[in-house]
């Protein structure tokens, strides 16, 4: 779904009941395993368990709303990418979710980290990760951020404009530090995703256009700079991508640029980054690939294209973020009110309002993203009813889960869990309506550990100097 009304999609789909992919479940209590992390299950009473711990105990200890990370699962997903892409560099895309503990976890599982602000770099520094395995991204890095990256010794800086190339050359010369750089290019590939998260078409802010000639000019500028060490080309085509077709077209165009540069300069650049964007399952309609299947497909694509172009296969890298953090966490909420809203044609929808909302997950409102949900504190014998899980904010578009079948007897006090909430929920969270952001906790072996504490009203007031 895309927004078709200036005030948001909520104003454009009033007659919608449920999407065609959402089937009435045989058992409204059952979990669809591919939506959940590996240690999640329900016991005989229908109570959700994660990492050997009941959500009843979890909610009592830390309250709601809360983001719940399955540490075993997150580590396993990071490790699976490292193993499947052995011989490549795998960088965890920090923007999906980053805190000090997660930076340490992915580093311990063999991954580097891709950051795109000075704040994300500061977390990586605090975590004590090997900064030679950190890449600094971003389309408008400040002088302070570039200085921070150079002084910290990041392994690569991905340049995104001619202004940045000149800025980085001057700064590196001032500091006497050679900067290892990659040039981000736009390949003209339209990823099959929402317009706001498709990043390789021409009409957008990222990178240098291959078709327009700017990419070749940027490579030449970096190669001719005294203090820049040009190591390769970077391509990223978007997010939440399930098929390798887009990567194939992007790789072909990027490698053609790589080969053209080699022919014109006599130098084959040693590295190529294919970016990330690997999709995950948010609903029953999503069928993501595995790291092993992705690795097999991408290896085949690169080897075939390099052979056709007569160039050696460069040292390759990818940047999964959502595919690691997303399925590893769920959001847990408590129901406050339930309304049955009559629709035209004699049908109705349950509006289930919880104690969170668009301030802790903006993606449904921003991208019309789809999510699933389950009642997490009990088993129900009631029939399934079409429901919409909404938040507490003063906004008609404050929707967390647009369409889901929940038990018809869902009631105030129930716990509702939303799977696949680990990516871009806490990262994009806000204090809309002056609501403090929820904590992030990790669960493992029946123990809960706070990764990011719950904000308080005192935290918000401390920033208000008026």
DSSP string for 297-345: HHHHHHHHHHHHHT-PPPEEEE--SHHHHSTTEEEEEEEEEEEEEE-GG
Parallel/antiparallel/unpaired status of strands 399-407 and 440-444: unpaired
Measured distance CA(123)–CA(130) in Å, rounded: 12
CA 416 to chain centre: 22
Q: What is the pLDDT of residue 157?
A: 98
Q: Residues 320, 322, 326, 331: what is their CA dihedral angle, to the nearest 10 degrees?
A: 150
pLDDT of the residue at 15: 41
pLDDT of res. 202: 63
Write out the two tokens for 33: 């395993």
Give the angle 199-205-211 at the CA atoms, nearest 5°.
75
Side-chain half-sphere CA neighbours of 291 within 13 A: 20
pTM for this predicted structure: 0.92
Distances (CA, A) of 49 to 42, 70, 407, 440: 6, 11, 19, 17
| Per-residue pLDDT of the chain in tens (466 residues, 90 and over written 9) | 344 333 444 444 444 467 888 999 999 999 999 999 999 999 999 999 999 999 999 999 999 999 999 999 999 999 999 999 999 999 999 999 999 999 999 999 999 999 999 999 999 999 999 999 999 999 999 999 999 999 999 999 999 999 999 999 999 999 999 999 999 999 876 555 434 334 445 667 889 999 889 999 999 999 999 999 999 999 987 777 777 776 788 888 999 999 999 999 999 999 999 998 889 999 999 999 899 999 999 999 999 999 999 999 999 999 999 999 999 999 999 999 999 998 887 788 999 999 999 999 999 999 899 999 999 999 999 999 999 999 999 999 999 999 999 999 999 999 999 999 999 999 999 999 999 999 999 999 999 999 999 999 999 999 999 8
Question: Per the residue annotation, which of 99, 222, 394, 449 is the catalytic one?
Answer: 394
> Is 394 part of the annotated catalytic residue set?
yes
């Amino acid at each position: 779904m895309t927004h078709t009304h200036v005030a948001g999609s909520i104003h454009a789909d009033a007659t919608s009941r449920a999407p065609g992919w959402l089937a009435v479940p045989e058992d409204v209590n059952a979990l669809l395993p591919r939506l959940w992390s590996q240690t999640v299950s329900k016991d005989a009473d229908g109570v959700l368990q994660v990492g050997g711990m009941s959500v009843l105990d979890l909610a009592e200890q830390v309250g709601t709303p809360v983001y719940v990370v399955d540490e075993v699962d997150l580590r396993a997903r990071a490790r699976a990418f490292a193993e499947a892409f052995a011989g490549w560099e795998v960088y965890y895309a920090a923007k999906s979710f980053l805190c000090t503990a997660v930076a340490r976890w992915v580093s311990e599982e063999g991954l580097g980290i891709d950051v795109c602000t000075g704040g994300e770099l500061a977390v990586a520094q605090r975590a004590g990760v090997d900064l030679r395995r950190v890449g600094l991204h971003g389309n408008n890095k400040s002088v302070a951020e570039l200085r921070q990256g150079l002084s910290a010794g990041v392994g690569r800086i991905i340049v995104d404009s001619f202004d940045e190339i000149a800025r980085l050359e001057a700064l590196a010369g001032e500091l006497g530090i050679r900067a290892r750089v990659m040039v981000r290019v736009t390949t003209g590939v339209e990823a099959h995703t929402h317009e706001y998260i498709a990043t390789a078409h021409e009409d957008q802010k990222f990178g240098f256009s291959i078709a327009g000639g700017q990419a070749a000019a940027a490579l030449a500028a970096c190669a001719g700079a005294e203090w820049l060490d040009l190591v390769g080309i970077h391509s990223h085509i978007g997010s939440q991508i399930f098929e390798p077709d887009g990567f194939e077209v992007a790789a072909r165009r990027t490698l053609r640029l790589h080969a053209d540069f080699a022919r014109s300069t006599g130098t084959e650049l040693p590295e190529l980054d294919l970016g990330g964007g690997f999709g995950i399952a948010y609903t029953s309609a999503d069928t993501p690939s595995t790291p092993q299947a992705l690795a097999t497909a991408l290896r085949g694509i690169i080897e075939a294209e390099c052979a056709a172009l007569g160039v050696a296969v460069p040292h390759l890298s990818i940047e999964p973020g959502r595919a690691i953090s997303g399925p590893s966490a769920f959001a847990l909420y408590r129901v406050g009110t339930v309304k049955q809203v009559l629709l035209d044609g004699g049908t109705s929808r349950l509006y289930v309002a919880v104690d969170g909302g668009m301030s802790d997950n903006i993606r449904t409102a921003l991208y019309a993203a789809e999510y699933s949900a389950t009642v997490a504190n009990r088993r129900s014998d009631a029939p399934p009813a079409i429901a919409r899980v909404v938040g507490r904010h003063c906004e008609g578009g404050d929707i967390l889960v647009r369409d889901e079948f929940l038990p018809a007897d869902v009631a105030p006090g129930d716990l509702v869990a939303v799977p696949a909430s680990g990516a871009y929920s806490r990262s994009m969270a806000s204090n809309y309506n002056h609501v403090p952001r929820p904590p992030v906790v990790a669960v493992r072996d029946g123990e809960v550990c706070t990764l990011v504490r719950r904000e308080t009203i005192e935290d918000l007031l401390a920033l208000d100097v008026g």
